[in-house]
Amino acid sequence: MKRAFVIGHPIAHSRSPLIHGHWIDTYRVGGSYEAIDVAPAALPDFFERLKGGEFVGGNVTIPHKEQVVALVDELDPLAEEIGAVNTLVLRDAGVRGFNTDYMGFLGNLDQNAPGWDLGLDEVVVLGAGGASRAILVALKSRAVGKIHLLNRTVGKAEDLAIELGGPIACGGLDEFAARAGGARLIVNTSSVGMKDTRFEGLDLSVVPADAVVTDLVYVPLVTPLLADARQRGLRTVDGLGMLLHQAVPGFEAWFGVRPEVTPELRALVEATL
């Protein structure tokens, strides 16, 4: 039987076993998917198990996404550019690391806001942490004219912009009103919105009426940013779809079937939030 996993520390909160378990049942692939708590010091030993053939691959979550970059035998070019790995696949040549957050972000918007990238000139990205890297690389792949990268700590945004290159202009969150007037996509990649937090003084009234607002935070599903955007009549896309879509390429690589993100799967995961 083909076995796959998600490793993290802690790992109990992960919804990945629910997502992959649903697909394993739906497509009858005769595999398994389990959550395994691996502390950072135990990561090299876990890789030996993986290379030994115990698993076909798996997912990697916090806090290991950056550390595994140095442990894989091969790195997908996108994962290399992003600097983080969330999906591992065992191949003849060894373990290959991918970053599917990139595809999850694009797949979510393509499914839930069709046409979002047509003639897209300006975008505002809030947050410059780990998740922001995949989003910036994804946006560059859709030939966005200009990305305004706004972060609480401006220096971190500037470091990221230098590292990734491309049309990225940096600023603080207090520059939102001055920067967002031409932005037809607003993306929150920061953790603001979780645990009753919200952006203070983010004025969505300056945003064009046909803009899409999306949030990577999915607990709560409707963050204060999305609620505000909806109240203003803007199109919104929540972060749960990204979580579901990022799981697709891994399942396909391990079990040989490209799974679908269906309303049934979404309802299953939504019930756990």
Which CB atom, from 35 or from 216, has the smaller least distance to ligand NAP? Answer: 216
CA distance 257 to 266: 19
Decide: is 131 part of the binding site for ligand NAP (CB under 6 A).
Answer: yes
Q: Which is nearer to ligand NAP, 201 or 263 (CB)?
A: 201
**Residue 67 contacts by C-beta under 8 Å, 6 or more apart in sequence?**
40, 43
What is residue 11's DSSP assignment?
-
Out of 127, 249, 250, 259, the residue judged to bind ligand NAP by CB under 6 A: 127
Rounded to the nearest whole angstrom, what is the least distance from the CB of residue 116 to ligand NAP in the complex?
Answer: 16
Residues 186-205 close enough to bind ligand NAP by CB under 6 A: 189-192, 194, 197
> Under a CB-based contact definition with an 8 Å cutoff, are residues 66 and 83 in contact?
yes
Cα separation of 122 and 179, whole Å?
9
Residue from 151, 214, 223, 236 binding ligand NAP (CB under 6 A): 151
Segment lying near ligand NAP (by CB under 6 A), choices 52-60, 147-155, 178-186, 225-233: 147-155
Cβ-based nearer residue to ligand NAP, 66 or 252: 66
Mark 82-111 with x for binding to ligand NAP (rule: CB under 6 A) and - for no binding.
Answer: -------------------x--x-------
Residue 242 binding ligand NAP, by CB under 6 A: yes
Minimum distance of ligand NAP from residue 103's CB (angstroms): 11
Instruction: Give residues with Cβ within 8 angstroms of 196, minimum separation 6.
Output: none
User: For ligand NAP, which residue has the nearest CB?
Assistant: 129
- Which tokens belong to 190? 């920061």
Active site residue 195: no
Buried b (16+ CB within 10 A) or exposed e, 64-87: bbeebbebbeebbebbebbbbbbb
**Dist CA 94 CA 261 (whole Å):** 29
Measured CA to CA, the distance from residue 43 to residue 144 in angstroms comes to 37
The dihedral through the CA atoms of 212, 215, 220, 226 has a sign that is: negative
Q: How many CB atoms neighbour CB 144 within 10 A?
A: 22
Give the x-and-dash track for 205-224 against ligand NAP (CB under 6 A): -----------xxx------
Which residues, numbered 33-52, are part of the site for ligand NAP (CB under 6 A)?
A: none
Of 2, 65, 146, 156, the catalytic one is 65
Enzyme catalytic residues: 65
Instruction: Give contact residues for ligand NAP (rule: CB under 6 A).
Output: 101, 104, 127-132, 151-153, 156, 189-192, 194, 197, 216-218, 239, 242-243, 246
